[in-house]
Amino acid sequence: MCGIVGYVGNQQAAPILLEGLSKLEYRGYDSAGLSVRDTDVDMKIVKAKGRLKILAEKTNDGQALEGTCGIGHTRWATHGEPSKQNSHPHCSDDKNVVAVHNGIIENYQELKAKLQRKGYSFYSQTDTEVAVKLIDYYYKKYLGTPIDAINNAMVRIRGSYALAIMFKDYPEEIYVARKDSPMIIGVENGESFVASDVPAILKYTRNVYYIGNMEIGLQIPLQLNAHSANG
């Protein structure tokens, strides 16, 4: 289990995500990736096998990826070899849902078979891609909110997860959910952070909320000088 960092605010997200991920490097990892978006623009995804430095070089230290909302990940492979293809973020084929995940989806084969029967295909060997496409499936099936879709997926998923998820229809919003895998939200001066561990966001805030087990959270940019964390 490795690292997750997310950011929504008025600064460029990618440099903050890279910096946050670098603070989680001590946990070990085999690949890394980012997804960043602007209000009305598609989510861009950049991934690299190997050191974070390679991802930083590929994105000119994050400068090449424009957007004020994004998620980043360092992966410790459990399902599928370390490769660019298997590294996170993972997405539905139309990029309706893009997410990063720490943990292990125990019943991913069963869920994958179900999704294949519904017409989904898979580009990676990961359990994570299955979780992402399961959320996409419920989002489209019930035409509900992201929270409904995540909730429906959580009911079916067995295993451990910390998930940070972006939906195409909801710019400037990052949804988070966790079970038996740590995740925190931090807020400071209108900016909102998410991370799998405190060191990733310590430079930016000490105003931290520990997401509860089986809890779903929504990260949005806050009013300047907001005083409370939002869950």
| Residues contributing to the site for ligand GLU (CB under 6 A) | 1-2, 75-80, 86, 101-104, 126-128
Cβ closest to ligand GLU, residue 3 vs residue 9: 3
Task: Round to whole Å and give the CA distance between 161 and 166.
Answer: 16
Q: What is the DSSP letter of 199?
A: G
| Total length of the chain | 231
Task: Round to whole Å and give the CA distance between 166 and 140.
Answer: 15
Cβ closest to ligand GLU, residue 68 vs residue 124: 124
Cβ closest to ligand GLU, residue 24 vs residue 150: 24
- In whole angstroms, how close is the CB of 125 to ligand GLU at the nearest point? 8
- In whole angstroms, how close is the CB of 170 to ligand GLU at the nearest point? 24
Task: Round to whole Å and give the CA distance between 85 and 49.
Answer: 9
- In whole angstroms, how close is the CB of 38 to ligand GLU at the nearest point? 27
Task: Round to whole Å and give the CA distance between 30 and 32.
Answer: 7
- In whole angstroms, how close is the CB of 79 to ligand GLU at the nearest point? 4
Cβ closest to ligand GLU, residue 59 vs residue 86: 86
- Dihedral angle sign, alpha carbons of residues 123, 167, 73, 117: negative
